[in-house]
Structure 1
């Protein structure tokens, strides 16, 4: 499971869509991205926590956690794209620590973070099993791994509905909001095809983590997951 050789193409598209990334993402999530981030993070990140925002993008996950905890957390942003990190650092009152790299080789010591947050990013792992193992490694005992992302429903009818939205409706919305750059969001469907069904993802997490809380929305097309070390 994971993007494998498709990863390079996806990263190049992400590099190109930085100017419209956040705006388009808000629209294609049908305006529910903020709600889903809050649902995923609330009660799982606490004041005093040290957080790794993995695949941070513009840092929306850690900004949400910072707001919930009234700024009383320590944030490290981690993303494969240096231009993304440069833009992101300016969006915080205090510039967080930042590091560049991939899920499969996280450059931090074992048991370092209280929580690892992945907002719409774990789907872009090159090798999902290795990514999950690395995230487990850097979490403290009792740490939380919070995922907010697209879901792939187990039921065939719901899965067909999500697929139709991603292939037929999403490109129209993305173009309307982001113009020609919005058309590049069509690669999102390629990442979805390589993404495991919800039950399979839960099973993969349980291979490493002691407990998993799995919430769904939009017919299972959106997931908010917390895995506990």
Structure 2
């Protein structure tokens, strides 16, 4: 499971949509992206933690965690796109560490982080099982793995509804907000097709982690997950 050979196309699209990335994401999530990040992170990241924001993009997950913890965090941003990292701006209390790479080869030693955050990024893994294993490796004992992402509902009717939204409605919203460049968000449906259903994703995570808290919203089309090492 994972994007496999489709990964290169997805990364190139992400590179192109950097100028409108945050704006369009807010609209296509029906304005719930911030709420879901807060729900996923609250009580899972603690003041003083060392966190890895994996597939960080502009660092929205760690920015949220920093606000929750009053700036008392050590943050490392990790993303395959250098331009994303360069566009993090001055939104952090102090400039975070940054590193470039993929989920499947995380360049950090074992048991280094208290929490690993993946906001709308784990879905873009080349190999999902290897990505989860690598995240488990770099987490400390009792570390937390927090995922906020699209969900693929187990219920077939809900799943059809979410698929229709992503395939038909989302491109129209993205075009209205981001113009012709917004149409490239249609690639998101391709990542969704390769994403496991919610119950299967939970099972994959439990292959490595001892416990999983799996919360859903929008008919299962949005998930907030916390896995404990």
TM range (shorter): over 0.9
User: Could you tell me which residue of structure 2 aligns to residue 205 of structure 1?
Assistant: 205
- Superposed counterparts of 1:163-174, under 5 Å: 163-174=163-174
5+ residue gaps, structure 2:
none
Deviations 1:72-118 (A, max 9, x none): 01000000000000111533232100000000000000000000000
- Superposed counterparts of 1:125-164, under 5 Å: 125-164=125-164
Q: How much does 1:206 deviate?
A: 0.4
User: Could you tell me which residue of structure 1 aligns to residue 53 of structure 2?
Assistant: 53
CA distance in 2, matches of 1:180, 1:84: 20
Is residue 214 of structure 2 the alignment partner of residue 214 of structure 1?
yes
- What is the RMSD computed on CA atoms of the aligned residues? 0.6
- Superposed counterparts of 1:8-47, under 5 Å: 8-47=8-47
What is the count of residue pairs matched by the alignment? 229
User: Could you tell me which residue of structure 2 aligns to residue 91 of structure 1?
Assistant: 91
Q: How much does 1:180 deviate?
A: 0.9
Whether the 8 Å CA contact 1:89–1:95 is kept in 2: the answer is: no
Matched residue SS, 2:87: helix
TM-score, normalised on structure 1?
Answer: 0.99
CA distance in 2, matches of 1:175, 1:223: 25
Matched residue SS, 1:226: strand
Is residue 97 of structure 2 the alignment partner of residue 78 of structure 1?
no
Task: Please list every run of at least 4 consecutive aligned residues from structure 1 whose deviation after the TM superposition is greater than 4 angstroms.
Answer: none
TM-score, normalised on structure 2?
Answer: 0.99
Q: How much does 1:209 deviate?
A: 0.1
User: Could you tell me which residue of structure 1 aligns to residue 100 of structure 2?
Assistant: 100
CA distance in 2, matches of 1:177, 1:56: 23
Is residue 194 of structure 2 the alignment partner of residue 190 of structure 1?
no
Whether the 8 Å CA contact 2:71–2:93 is kept in 1: the answer is: no
5+ residue gaps, structure 1:
none
CA distance in 1, matches of 2:43, 2:94: 24
Matched residue SS, 1:88: coil
CA distance in 1, matches of 2:65, 2:92: 12
CA distance in 1, matches of 2:91, 2:166: 29
